[in-house]
Structure 1
């Protein structure tokens, strides 16, 4: 696996466990008598990007020195589970909810309009109904966006795979974040003069049959930062390897699991940004309603090449080194 980096200007899921971070104690107060802040974390599912976001968040909160108790809950890609976890946090009286991925944030926002919610790994907070405006949320929700460089990814695809004429767009129809990215992908493919066909799944159980149905119909598959596809990226990759079908992914973890190449943001850094925002809220320095949605404006995009996959399907990735 090769990784290189480029500058870009834009914008550990632990299931059902509670951990104590910082210098807090389990009785609601720290050893020095300070308040221990309770944070509830709801993560949609386990895959590399969301796990990294979670890790970055916890690191940032710990680095602040605030006494915190963190309750980690993972919905295992069951959106109804998110809608059970979020109200439980409200009932527990947490001081802040950290929501990882759009459905998790939507469940949290539906459970409370009072408790601060910080989200991450969310493509567009406003389009997902979480805030009134990304620059001024005016709700109890804020956070960091993983808006994907869709256009740049597809331009890279055309550079590496110049013979591709028709692209399969693979995503989960139940994820609003994917709808946003697929629209952007269609616009970019139109601009590039390439045809496309949608291959949508409604759950992970459909991944195999839907991907197999794409074989012979398209010259390459593209999947955005879709949580269902990310969790099943190894399965997609295996089918693509067997049929020598290039699979271009929306982020690094998906590429490593079964993709061919990608241009990705750093999800651990994204989680750190969210963690720093949460610290400001807990310290009373700011309120979600006034905190603009943040992007990794000074971060680096990661160019990831899966050389093993490239060799298996006979694709030359040297164009990525230019």
Structure 2
């Protein structure tokens, strides 16, 4: 009897041991890998921040969530061009599974730092001209992403200057000549201004602290301000708005978020949507697709945006014609 009981107990112990081993194996199999994503952003301002937030939202909607199966290392250069390369090198050395670069200088630094880690970019004016990809349709290598250059955006915004401010002759442009994206945007704006019979008056800056002085220098010399998609200027946009309001200078801009902040008008789009599109690309890559197989994306919806309060402060009389197809923002 005792022998039989001993045999039964041994059998139970072996069964429990086997079950325990099976449970550990199952738990190990269910443990999900934590994806590491590095983000390099040139500077803080609403458009770039919105793009980053849209990117993270797309990841979350696809099941990648911070604190669970996703770890994000967010680095911001705070507008210092010399900081972009150390940030890129850190994100590469940390062996992230994927790196997102926001704005052209950040993207150039990351792309020059790795040929193996998948790289996505967003808020880029000219991906080919910046030598980030070989072509928009076939990026090649380990890089792809989204551009914020809708082919009609600048042309439509300049046409709006001519239409809404018919007496305007000279248009003041403030930009950082050290930002490759700004140089391209200003070139395109000057071509559109010339075609519309308007004269461009340029002033350049190298830091956000210089923006107010640059805006002041244009007072009395121009009829309208045009602020392109320049990260340095947009980061200090309130300096331009202060001058524009004080001297009743209509202010047109290169993207919609700046209209929300207090400038008059732009043909723009939502940077959150652009970032979300980039995030969907990230999901494809994390699931096995190569960046070279994903064409560069662009904003899909271009919309005239008008800020009524800014119009009043800048001395602009709104008409039904102006508002007919406009999205009213900033209220």
Unaligned runs of 5+ in 1: 1-28
Partner residue in 2 for 1:291: 294
Structure with higher helix content = 2
SS of equivalent residue, structure 1 residue 211: helix
SS of equivalent residue, structure 2 residue 302: strand
After TM superposition, give the deviation of residue 256 of structure 1 in Å.
Answer: 2.4
After TM superposition, give the deviation of residue 315 of structure 1 in Å.
Answer: 0.5
After TM superposition, give the deviation of residue 291 of structure 1 in Å.
Answer: 1.7
Residue from 253, 269, 280 that aligns with 1:249: 253
After TM superposition, give the deviation of residue 267 of structure 1 in Å.
Answer: 0.4
TM, length-normalised to structure 2:
0.84
After TM superposition, give the deviation of residue 31 of structure 1 in Å.
Answer: 9.3
Name the stretch that deviates more: 255-264 or 237-246: 255-264
Distance verdict in 2 for CA 1:30–1:265, change over 3 Å: farther
After TM superposition, give the deviation of residue 30 of structure 1 in Å.
Answer: 9.7
Listed as ranges, the matches of 1:1-322 within 5 Å are 32-66=30-64, 67-148=69-150, 149-284=153-288, 286-297=289-300, 300-318=301-319, 319-322=321-324
Unaligned runs of 5+ in 2: 1-26, 325-331
Determine if contact 1:160/1:316 at 8 Å carries over to the other structure. no
Determine if contact 2:171/2:201 at 8 Å carries over to the other structure. yes
CA distance in 1, matches of 2:58, 2:204: 36
CA distance in 2, matches of 1:146, 1:270: 7
After TM superposition, give the deviation of residue 229 of structure 1 in Å.
Answer: 1.3
Name the stretch that deviates more: 202-211 or 218-227: 202-211
Q: CA RMSD in A?
A: 1.7
Determine if contact 1:170/1:222 at 8 Å carries over to the other structure. yes
After TM superposition, give the deviation of residue 263 of structure 1 in Å.
Answer: 1.4
Determine if contact 1:167/1:196 at 8 Å carries over to the other structure. yes
CA-to-aligned-CA distance 1:170-199 (integer Å, 9 cap, x gap) = 211111111111111111111111111111
After TM superposition, give the deviation of residue 308 of structure 1 in Å.
Answer: 2.0
CA distance in 2, matches of 1:313, 1:87: 45
SS of equivalent residue, structure 1 residue 111: coil
CA-to-aligned-CA distance 1:2-56 (integer Å, 9 cap, x gap) = xxxxxxxxxxxxxxxxxxxxxxxxxxx9993222110001111111111110110
SS of equivalent residue, structure 1 residue 242: helix
Higher relative contact order (CA 8 A, sep 6+): 1
CA-to-aligned-CA distance 1:44-101 (integer Å, 9 cap, x gap) = 1111111110110001011111432111122111122221111111111101001111
CA distance in 2, matches of 1:75, 1:30: 39
Partner residue in 2 for 1:6: none
Aligned length: 291
After TM superposition, give the deviation of residue 200 of structure 1 in Å.
Answer: 1.4
TM, length-normalised to structure 1:
0.87
Determine if contact 1:30/1:36 at 8 Å carries over to the other structure. no
CA distance in 2, matches of 1:164, 1:32: 66
SS of equivalent residue, structure 1 residue 212: helix
Distance verdict in 2 for CA 1:254–1:145, change over 3 Å: same
After TM superposition, give the deviation of residue 254 of structure 1 in Å.
Answer: 1.4
SS of equivalent residue, structure 1 residue 273: helix
The runs of 4+ residues in structure 1 deviating greater than 4 Å are: none
Determine if contact 2:57/2:276 at 8 Å carries over to the other structure. yes
Determine if contact 2:269/2:302 at 8 Å carries over to the other structure. yes
After TM superposition, give the deviation of residue 306 of structure 1 in Å.
Answer: 2.0
Partner residue in 2 for 1:9: none
CA distance in 2, matches of 1:287, 1:159: 45
